Amino acid sequence: MEKFDTIIIGAGPGGLAAAYDLSGAGQNVAVIENNLWGGTCPNRGCDPKKVLIGAVEARDRMVQLQGKGFGDVPYVNWTDLEKFKETFTDPVSDSSKKGAIDAGITTIDGEPKFVSDKEVSVNEVTYQADHFIIATGQRPSYLDVKGKENLLSSTDFLSLKQMPKEVTIIGAGYIAFELATIANATGAKVHVVHHNDHPLKAFNEKYALELVKQLENKGVEFHFNIDTKEIAKSGDKFILKADNFELSSDIVIGATGRIPNVDYLDLDKAGVKVDRHGVVVNKQLQSSNERIFAIGDVVSTKAPKLTPVAGFEASYVSDVILQKTTSDIKLPLIPTVVYGSPKLAQVGEQTGSKVVDQDVTKWFTYSHTNEPKAKVRIVLNDQSQIIGATLLSNEADSLINLLTKAIEQKMTHEDVTKEILAYPTAGSDLEYLI
Ligand SMILES: Cc1cc2nc3c(=O)[nH]c(=O)nc-3n(C[C@H](O)[C@H](O)[C@H](O)COP(=O)(O)OP(=O)(O)OC[C@H]3O[C@@H](n4cnc5c(N)ncnc54)[C@H](O)[C@@H]3O)c2cc1C
Ligand SMILES: NC(=O)c1ccc[n+]([C@@H]2O[C@H](COP(=O)([O-])OP(=O)(O)OC[C@H]3O[C@@H](n4cnc5c(N)ncnc54)[C@H](O)[C@@H]3O)[C@@H](O)[C@H]2O)c1
């Protein structure tokens, strides 16, 4: 029986990062993957989404400057854009696997199943290891309603060969907003159907509602407090049905959350406990079997399910396995961005001793490209240090990283005035934002 120091299940950003760390430290490491190498983020998540959003941003920039240097602006050509996206996604799996092999990591394709707390079987071959890391991520969850087989997922959306004329998206989280923004820029009529009136629940409500308004101004229609009961097929159309509500469209995308990939692994044979949010772990990311760890999206903790979080946890667990640390995991500040157009970003505390909330639409940073709406909200503590921020603008993604550093360094207004940042940029406004 082949024996490894560590076997990792799942070759996403989390699993591969751990594999490189452990193999780089001299361990004999195997990674088992049952689908595309590289995982969700580069194959069917962050990266393809960002390629599509890139085209939306280019179009929106021209629309903003219509009559100010630009004339008629065409819709994004979906078919061409999809082909461009594929130049990023097509090579990912092979190159991720090759990279691992080149680094001396054993790569195994197939469906792993635990046969004991020390052994896993794949394609009828049994492998043993001192430690295991479960890094199997999440997959889309589908609403449990009549006709749920008629729902498409974000993965299906990102690979559509043609963008239909009418698109309905159920849910109002990250995925719903990002896909709505993309479909809208191709000229599709987009509907967002949500079961309550709290879109993007984790974000400042006023800012989330301002983003709704910006999308409505572009023609996206939001239907709040609609509890979907059925997705019926009628000819070429799909009808979303709820109490006193029907909506017909060409496709219906379910974006109502994701579920952990904990089934099919026979985790009970290894004594690993799970709940509906994923693998249950302690503060060292150890499961109920102390030799089996879990990282990334599959972990049942409140940590945001994001690529940099999976990478951070991978590095932490590698250090635990290599006996470089015995401390509990301590996640740093985690900035998050909804890649719409404009973008919505948030980091840190949302309440404090002082809040400076400004509409900065008319500031040069935003007015020179005629942005329709830009807002910045900074939260300070009783020592006037920056402790949190919410941003809505096209510059929000870069500015949120700068603010994350400012919070980590406990910067005050006075500290900010002592810095020189390139002008004119969103960063050089910082001293006027506090
Ligand atoms: C549409 C979309 C957009 C996103 N955009 C962003 C973004 O902009 N920024 C951001 O930070 N995050 C984003 N995310 C989230 C990000 O993709 C995840 O947080 C990240 O991929 C988690 O990494 P992971 O390694 O934990 O899991 P994954 O990347 O999901 O990798 C898990 C791997 O395990 C494999 N696997 C599953 N089950 C098994 C099994 N039984 N046996 C073997 N292998 C298995 C899977 O095939 C996969 O390759 C997005 C997600 C989606 C869906
Ligand atoms: N930019 C990014 O960083 C990014 C982008 C996409 C995804 N992600 C990650 O992927 C995760 C999954 O994204 P998501 O958008 O699927 O999940 P989410 O949890 O962000 O949003 C799910 C939404 O569906 C709603 N919902 C639940 N049941 C519903 C129902 N019956 N009818 C209508 N709406 C319903 C929820 O209220 C919520 O608004 C995110 O939490 C995030 O961790 C991150």
The binding site for NAD(+) comprises: 171-178, 257
How far is ligand 1, taken at its centre, from the CA of residue 60, in Å?
Answer: 29
Same domain for 10 and 128, yes or no, is yes
Residue 363 lies in a domain: yes
Looking at 233, 256, 279, which one is the last position of a domain? Answer: 256
Q: Do 281 and 363 belong to one domain?
A: no
State the DSSP code for 352. Answer: -
Residues 241 and 385 in one domain: no
* pLDDT computed for residue 371 by the predictor: 98
- Binding-site residues for FAD, please? 50, 297
Residue 175 alpha carbon to ligand 2 centre in Å? 6
As a whole number of angstroms, the distance between CA 63 and CA 66 comes to 5
For residue range 69-101, list pLDDT tens digits in order: 999 999 999 999 999 999 999 999 999 999 999
Query: What is the distance in A from the centroid of ligand 1 to the CA of 222?
Result: 28
pLDDT at 149: 97
Q: Decide which of 213, 232, 256 is a domain's last residue.
A: 256
Q: Which two tokens stand for residue 293?
A: 């760890």
Tell me: do 125 and 264 sit in the same domain: yes
Averaged pLDDT, 253-259: 97
| CA of 339, closest atom in ligand 2 | 1
Protein residue whose Cα sits closest to atom 43 of ligand 2: 305
Q: Whose CA is nearest to atom 27 of ligand 2?
A: 256
User: Which CATH number goes with the domain that contains 130?
Assistant: 3.50.50.60
Residue 413, helix vs strand vs coil: helix
Is residue 111 scored above 90 in pLDDT?
yes
Q: Is 262 in the pocket of ligand 2 (CB under 6 A)?
A: no
Q: Which residue, judged by its Cα, is nearest atom 21 of ligand 2?
A: 173
Kindly give the distance from the C-alpha atom of residue 415 to the centroid of ligand 2, in angstroms, as a whole number.
Answer: 37
Same domain as 130, residue 62:
yes
Residue 1 has pLDDT above 90, yes or no: no
The pLDDT tens digits of the residues spanning 367-420 come to 999 999 999 999 999 999 999 999 999 999 999 999 999 999 999 999 999 999
Q: Which atom of ligand 1 is nearest to the CA of 297?
A: 26
Cα(430) to ligand 1 centroid in Å equals: 34
| Beta carbon of 337 within 6 Å of any ligand 2 atom | yes
| Nearest ligand to the C-alpha atom of residue 223 | 2
Domain edge (last residue) among 216, 233, 256: 256
| For the chain, percent of residues with pLDDT exceeding 90 | 99
Task: Give me the residue label for tokens 């997922």.
Answer: 153
- The predicted-structure confidence for 29-80, as pLDDT tens digits, reads as follows 999 999 999 999 999 999 999 999 999 999 999 999 999 999 999 999 999 9
Residues 192 and 55 in one domain: no
CA of residue 199 to ligand 2 center, whole Å: 10
* Positions of E strands within 187-313: 189-193, 221-223, 230-234, 237-242, 245-249, 251-254, 258-260, 274-275, 278-279, 292-294
User: Same domain for 92 and 222?
Assistant: no
* pLDDT (mean) for 99-119: 97
In this predicted model, what pLDDT tens digit does every residue of 123-166 receive, in sequence order? 999 999 999 999 999 999 999 999 999 999 999 999 999 999 99
Instruction: Pull the structure tokens for residue 389.
Output: 């921020």
Q: What is the number of the ligand 2 atom nearest to the C-alpha of 201?
A: 39
Which CATH number do you get for residue 393? 3.30.390.30
What's the pLDDT score for residue 182? Answer: 98
- Give the range of the structural domain holding residue 369, as residue numbers without chain letter: 342-432
Tell me, yes or no, whether 296 and 246 share the same domain: no
- Closest-lying ligand 2 atom to the alpha carbon of residue 175: 15
Q: Please, what is the average pLDDT of the chain?
A: 97
pLDDT band at 242; cut points 50, 70, 90: very high
Q: Is residue 209 part of a domain?
A: yes
Out of 20, 31, 40, 253, give the residue to mutate to test ligand 1, the one with the largest number of ligand atoms within 8 Å of its CB: 40
Q: Determine whether the shortest distance from the Cβ of 343 to ligand 2 is under 6 A.
A: no
User: How many angstroms does the Cα of residue 228 sit away from the middle of ligand 2?
Assistant: 16
pLDDT of 294 above 90: yes
Dihedral angle computed from the Cα positions of residues 299, 300, 301 and 303, in that order, rounded to the nearest 10 degrees:
50
Rounded Cα distance between 31 and 27, Å, is: 12
Asked if residue 78 is part of any domain, the answer here is: yes
Q: Whose CA is nearest to atom 16 of ligand 2?
A: 257
Tell me the torsion sign for CA atoms 168, 173, 178, 181. positive
What is the residue-wise DSSP string for 62-112? HHHTBTTTB---PPP-HHHHHHHHHHHHTTHHHHHHHHHHHTT-EEEES--
Tell me which residues have their CB closer than 6 angstroms to ligand 1.
Answer: 9-15, 32-36, 39-41, 45-46, 49, 112, 135-137, 154, 175, 261, 264-265, 296-297, 305-308, 310, 339
Give a yes or no: residue 335 inside a domain: no
Q: Tell me which residue has its CA closest to atom 6 in ligand 1.
A: 46
Domain count, the chain: 3
- 8-state DSSP, 271: T
CA 126 to chain centre: 34
Whether 339 lines ligand 2, by a CB cut-off of 6 Å, is: yes
Tell me what pLDDT residue 21 has.
98
6 and 84 together in one domain = yes
Do 242 and 270 fall within a single domain? Answer: no
Residue 225 within a domain: yes
> What is the interface pTM, i.e. ipTM, of the complex?
0.98
